[in-house]
Structure 1
Amino acid sequence: MAQDSEALYNLIYIAEGSICLAIDGEELTLNPGSFALWDSARPMTFITGAGLRQITLAVPQRELLLALPRAGEFVGRRFAATSGLSRLFVDHLISLDARFGELPRGNAGHVLHASVELLASTLSAQAEPCAGRSGKIVLQGVMAYIGRHLDDPELDTRRVASDCGITERHLHRLFERADTTAAAWIRRQRLDRCRRDLRAAETAHLSITQIAYRWGFGDSSSFSKIFKREFASSPKDYRAAGGFSSQARRASSGWAT
């Protein structure tokens, strides 16, 4: 699809096995069902895992940039072909890989052009907050993502990085600039939500354990220890100091009159 001297965007899809790409010093691991875009004009190294089977689509940069002027923003990001346009594109890519040689010469160019348009639409549909922006804006997007998922006990730095389309290394660098770590930020946001709920009238009917679970803590014992270490008060004492005794909580739940 391209002349040898042309600058290319190479899309790599992993059907089996795995591969680790290093683009501009950032590592990106691709597993089955995921794909990424890389720029032939930028340094890239890779380490392949056992049993690797991949499909690569080489697209002239000028062609993709005509269809998607901000195509460069998507270089070095991992995408999962699980549903929607990304799944449709990968199904098309697999079919293209298997059947392209059967096409009449006159139809090949039209099919490749349609493939570029579908790729552009697929990338445009990726709406993670981390795409191709300054470090400050990327960090804001990551923090917003964390805030929306604090109730998920499975939320960790690997999940945040994957869903935001960046590497864990990049994630840690972003939070270093904010003088904290990603894990510490997640923990502090959860604690702040719990602290708020312990003194909020609308959550007075919830037990301390329920509040801890509500914000992603796995058990009340570890939550109490972390809370006391952070705020120099146990959750029970902190709630009582706010005026919500057990009698008041029963009343708010309709247990007492």
Structure 2
Amino acid sequence: MVPHVLVHLQEAGVSQVRQGGRQAWRRAGDLTVLHNAKPYEVTFHGPTRSVLVRVPTHVLGLRPFLLDRITAVPLSSERPVVGATAAFFSRLARHQTAAGAAETALLLKPSLDLIRAVVTVVLDRGDLARAPLNSTLLERVHEYVRLHMADPDLTAERLAAEHDVSVRWLYLTLSRAGISPGEWIRTQRLEECRKQLASPAHEFMTIEAIAHQWGFAGAAHFSRVFKTAYGVSPRELRSRLAAGRADSHRPD
């Protein structure tokens, strides 16, 4: 049997794990690490939902003494690196069937680096975690923005503070990927607004309410940046789509 490190994300319900003389209760949002080269036990208490990530131990490249210290230790998602890893794996599991082989291969390195970062940060071995944390900064920032997009105070300064990097380093990392933080956040917000404006499920929400929901302070400013991005105002887009739906339901 090839030794594997098992990273378990508890998405719902409660379970208990035992390994190496330790035991941990796992609740929604918790991560735990197990090593299948040694005996372990998992007990489920009622209905549960979880995500399991298996990584060959030699690929992960962590020393055995580090793994021995982290197995069956409850890792709360309140820790930023644990929360980012949990969110990444949860989203990855939801979209697994839609990802092709090439896309899956691209996600392998960030997955490994996040696991290494969790282990080394929790064990206070930041010297071993710095490289993995730096190499996954872009993925972690992207996930943080996705989860906090509606917050009006989502700024580069906040992103840098939440990820324990300087604003300068954040800008440098994003610029290497061709991203400007302010423009990037605004683009993501505008796209969410466009989806809601186009959806019949939100036709009774005012434009101002939709804009406010996604972090825009005022309707006038939102209308200007929306028209710059899409060539039509929010009101025009909504009217055109409503007219199109009406025509499609009109009898011949």
TM-score normalised to the size of structure 2?
0.46
Q: Which has the larger radius of gyration?
A: 1
TM-score normalised to the size of structure 1?
0.45
Whose helix proportion is higher, 1 or 2? 2
